[in-house]
Homo-oligomer: A and B are copies of this chain.
Amino acid sequence: MKERVIVFGGDGFCGWPTALHLSESGYEVIIVDNLSRRKIDIELDANSLTPIKSIYKRIETWKQLTGNEIHYYNIDISVHYRRLLEVIEKHKPKAVVHFAEQRSAPYSMKSPYLKRYTIDNNTNATHNICCAIVESQLDVHLIHLGTTGYYGYSSVGLTIPEGYLNVKVDVDGDEKYLEIAYPPNPGSIYHLTKCMDPLIFSYYNKNDLMKITDLHQGIVYGTQTEETRMHEDLINRFDYCGDYGTVLNRFLMQSQVNHPITVHGTGGQTRAFIHIQDTVRCVKMALQNPPKRGNKVKILNQTSECRNILELAKIIRDITGGEIRFYRNPRNEDPDNELKFDNTGFKSLGWDPIMLDQSLMTEIIEITNKYKHRCDMSKIICTSVWNDHIQVDKTGSGEPIK
């Protein structure tokens, strides 16, 4: 009998290709998703650049192609706890993968309502999953998608470890060694929720011996994976709007629609990156290598490399011949930073990360070029602002400042 895995948020940008990859790898996959990401697109009057099909059509085509059935439940797990519990009790999964959180930092800062929605949705979703696993009395491995943003971007020069930090503390003149959770340093309400989640995990791990893997993932780039490429009905979403689009994909897409490359602030920021194909591989590796019951929460940095934002913009400009423009940075963050991550956890499991090179960019350029007629140019500029202490162009007109 196949091992079963529930993918919470399995209709999203990371969730859908993960669901397919696990299905292809021999797992029986159950997707639970309330389609909130698609509904937010309606709210923002935005859309995926790629023409994604409905979850029903996606699953139907997948079954026709491979014979593999994917179960689907539309449940808001942050609210409908009994239905969540029923799905866990019915399918008795070996593991669950938890992507079911509002995942845009700018969206989480757009209004008091959306700050509150993000806190409420993400915190309750995470806690409900933990609570339901305990109530089910099943020994389920919980794999959660966190973010490298947990650590913040001012690391005093440290190579950021995988979740835990060894420190020395003075105790009455004696130095004692302690291993502590790396101190979180969130940069938005969204990131705040991703810093609150690990407290929930560490509590359930301690009190209920829950097996948990928390993946601190960098910014994902690319669109397609081996499985989503199999048929156009399976195509993955591609976000380019100012709220949900992420930096590298946005730069490449902007170059194809003759929009200036939008660098916020100086571009001195350094961020961690990973290709979507590696996201799905890493999640499968995490699934195949659960922590032992009774061991502490396993934290892995799911990121292949760190890159400077302005450097990336220049590489893309040099390939595409586009133009770089500097916009005021709406975020409260350092204008520039160094960043190094330890990612030996996955590497020691045999991971050979995909590194960013021109051929990968070419692939993204091809897909964005193919669908550029679907682009709404008015959605490219980021209109969220982090607070009132920073003077920001709130009109969203996107006038460059430099």
Contact = CB atoms under 8 A, between A and B. Distances in A.
Question: This chain: how many copies in the complex?
Answer: 2
Interface residues on A, range: 35 or more
16 contacts: A81-B112, A85-B112, A112-B135, A115-B127, A119-B127, A123-B123, A134-B387, A156-B169, A156-B178, A167-B168, A181-B183, A186-B199, A192-B200, A207-B386, A207-B387, A208-B389
Interface of A: 81, 85, 112, 115-116, 119-120, 123-124, 127-128, 131-132, 134-135, 137, 156-158, 165-172, 175-176, 178, 180-181, 183-184, 186, 189, 192, 195-196, 199-200, 203, 206-209, 332, 386-389
Contact of A199 (B167, B170, B184, B206): B184
A282 to B, nearest CB: 26
Contacts of A389: 208-209
B183 A192 contact: no
Given A81-B112, A199-B196, A124 B119 contact: yes
A81 to B, nearest CB: 6
Contacts of A137: 388
A157 B171 CA distance: 7
Contacts of A85: 112
Contact of A167 (B124, B128, B169): B169
Contacts of A134: 112, 387
A377 to B, nearest CB: 30
A189 B209 CA distance: 15
Given A176-B156, A207-B332, A207-B386, A120 B124 contact: yes
Contacts of A132: 112
Nearest to A186: B203
Nearest to A167: B167
A131 B158 contact: no
Contact of A208 (B166, B209, B387): B387
Nearest to A191: B203
Contacts of A206: 332
Contacts of A167: 167-169, 178, 180
